[in-house]
Structures are given as C-alpha cells and as structure tokens.
Chains A and B, each alone.
Chain A
Amino acid sequence: MSESTKSATLEIVRETPLLQLSMQQAINRALGEILDTDDRALIFGEDVGLLGGVFRVTDGLQQRFGANRVFDTPLAESGILGTAIGLAMAGFHPIPEVQFDGFAYPAVNQIITQLARMNYRSRGTLPMQVTLRVPSFGGIRAPEHHGESLESLFAHVPGLKVVSPANPQQAYHLLKHAASMPDPVIFMEPKARYWNKAGVDLAADEDIASLEGSVIARPGKHATLIAWGAMVSRCLQVAELAAEDGIELEVLDLRWLKPIDEAGLAASISRTRRAVVVHEGPHTIGLGAEVAALVSQSCFDTLRAPVERVTGFDVPYPSGDLEDEYIPNIDRILFGVQRVLEYRRG
C-alpha cells in the first residue's frame, strides 16, 4: 500500500460520524462484537436470552449467536457465578449478568471465595477471565433489591477489578477493554443512564492506556468533584450551576473503582486543592472514604480543606418513592462544595 493510500484510509476512519447510541445500545453493540471476535465468550443470566434482558441490553444476541452462546439460567445467582467459574476454569470466557445489583448478594460467596482468588490460589494456572455485568445503582424508581450501590463491597476484595461507565462512549469501550482482561471484572452499569443517548466514536480509545484510570469530564480550578456511574452526569449539572456563581468546578470521572487512579486524583486535586467525592452508596466505609484517604495522602500539603463526602445515608438503599431523598441531589452536592470553599485553617 502506498503512503498516500494509507493516509487516505486513515482519514476515512477519522471522519466516521459519531453514532448516537443509548448506553444500553452501546453495551449491546460491544457484547455483539465480543461474541463475534472471541469464540470462547458466552453470555448467560436471567432472561438474557429469549427476552433479551430486562433492560434489552442483550436484545437480539441469542438470535444472532444461538442458544449455546447466549442462554437463560435459572433464578439462582450463586449458580450463575458457579457456572461462570467452572467455564472459566475450562477455558471459556463467561460474560454473566446478574439482573439487578441487589440480586448479587446470593452470588457474593462465589465471587469472593472462588472467582476473586482462583488465580491466586492456583499460582496463576487458573485465571478467571470473567466479565460480570451488574445493572447498578438507583434512579429508576425500582422496588427494594433492584437498586443498590455495591462498589465498596466488590472493590474491597483482592483479585477483583471494578469499573463503572458514565456514558455510552465509555460503556462501549470499557466493556470491550474489561472483557479483554485476564482477570475477573465487575462491570457496574448505571441503570439510570441506560436510556440517555450520546455520540459514540467506535474507533476511538483503541489505545489501551486511555481506557485505564480516570478521566476529567469537565476541567475547572476551584474544587474537584469526584464521581462515577450515574453521579458523573449529576456532578456535571452541579458544575454548570456553580459556574453561575463564578465557581469553576472540575469533574473527575473515576471510572475504575478498583484499581483507583491515585495519580489522576493527585494531578487534579493538586491543581484545584479542594475535593468533594460524591457517591450513591452509604457513607460509612463507602468508596469515598478510600478516595478521601488517597487524596489526603497525596495532596496533604496543598489541600485547602478536608475532603468532603456527599453520599447516600447509612440506611438500606430505599425503594423508588424515597430514592430522591437518598441519592445525593444537586443541593447536597452544592453544600459540600460550599463547605470546602469556605473552610479556613486554624
């Protein structure tokens, strides 16, 4: 191929228009591509086959790839994860779904005692290439057990990786990246963002390095809001409102909740010198505590205020009619920002 042809081809790739996809469609597309390129990949879970998933995320995949590769399971999450572990030991690449975050509890034993440590236990001879999709967090008015925030639980377990996309573009690329990893990855899909459409560049982020760590969703200079999943879009709204008051907030989308991007946190907060971490999960021993500790360690000399945490409350995740009182709202986040802005030493 001549040099001119090469560059012409590259131009065409770059000029591919962005596809407008919802997160649910972006994940569906990524799953289809994974099944297409990875013969060992299998998708299974409750209603993922015939029905196409309760959120239509696996819609059409069983028709495309057959019921041997995309199949329904009994309503038994420990069985879904047990199956995944056995298949991974046999060399398959399971991509199971736990239908709702709150249904993951019956599978926690399998996840912690087998999935997370099989590679360690076998001295690397039995890696667990399992990509576990979990529709996560609240915001859709669901009943009990259908909205939970389990990231602290999973992130605490050695051997697991945990990631949560904030938009369709990330969902598409992070899922493909997670599926390419040799380790078990918990992929937490923010249910509240399933239906929001945004441009997806299918060719972007081919560089693996750009899929690791955190990203700056909005640059600013007076304080950094740290969030993941559905809270990223809420923090972007808060940053927009804060700008009306002359306060420029940076929004750092953590993306990977295990491992946490310590360098990315330090880089942002050493510039803004104030940090507010926002999450839906309960306050005590929430992931915000870990983020606060990391920031305090890396930015102790530059911080102008203690790291603020704006979180869910220390109560069971409430059902739909009360979730607006529980999930951090715009005013609670703004209060957190005000506290770091007005803090004075001594």
Chain B
Amino acid sequence: MLHTLKLLLPALLPSWNFFDVIAPSPRIQFSLLSKKDETPEEWQEFRPRPAKLTFIQMLKRLLWNPKWNESLFMVSCAERIIAQPAQRIQQHSEDEILKRIIRILPESNLNLATANYLQFRLVLVQRQGEQLQHEIVFYSRIQALIRDDKP
C-alpha cells in the first residue's frame, strides 16, 4: 500500500520535465526457439512501426490507439529493466513484456509450428556523434510457450 501511494505522489506533485533529455531508446526484439538450450539466431522487432501513416489514420488514432499505447508501455517496462530497479519491479517489467509478446504471436506471420520457447532482448539505440549506436543490454529469461493448440 505504501509503495502504491509512493507511485501516486508524482501525479499529485508532478515534475513536468517532459523530454528534458533525449535518453538512449530501447528496442524490444524477440526470438522463438524450439528447444530451451537453443541459441537464438533470428531476432524480430516487436510490432515494428509502419512505413507511413496517412493523416486520416492519424486522426483515427486520436480516438483508438491501443496497440501504440501498449508499445509505449512496453518501452517504459524496458526502461525500468535497464534502470535496474528492485528485483520485484524488474520481474514485473520482464513478465509484462513476455506476456504481451506471447499475446501477439498468433496474429504475426511467424512460423509457430516448432516454437516452444520465447526470449526477448533489449537493444539500446543512441547517437554517438553523427552515427547511431546499437548496444544489446539485456536478455530475458527463456519462457516456455503454453498455447491452446499445443498439447
């Protein structure tokens, strides 16, 4: 309860420091594995952004934007993991990302027939001079996929 009240305080006494510093930005990539001890080779970006959006699509998203808001929440979870908070919060963020990846798998066009396990990693993107630098900063646990279509 005390922890939840601590979470409430920034809402009642906000800092309003939006975009004060443009920090390195995490990307969530995942890999499907058939065996638990398999080394992941192919990494997929979670819900990549579209190449282009029309103005009409942007207007529609003003009222209905659940996927994008979920993606932003997952970025927050990734930032929490990278910030290395208490183990309980880190575990919560890892669980949130894993279960949301698992939920979108059926609607992806990935071959799920041999997929039994899932792992995600966090890639931190930042600018170094004129170049963008990509650095892998975190590997999740390997999560068994329990799906309705599997025995």
Bound pair (A, B):
no
Chain B interfacial positions (CB closer than 8 Å to A) = none
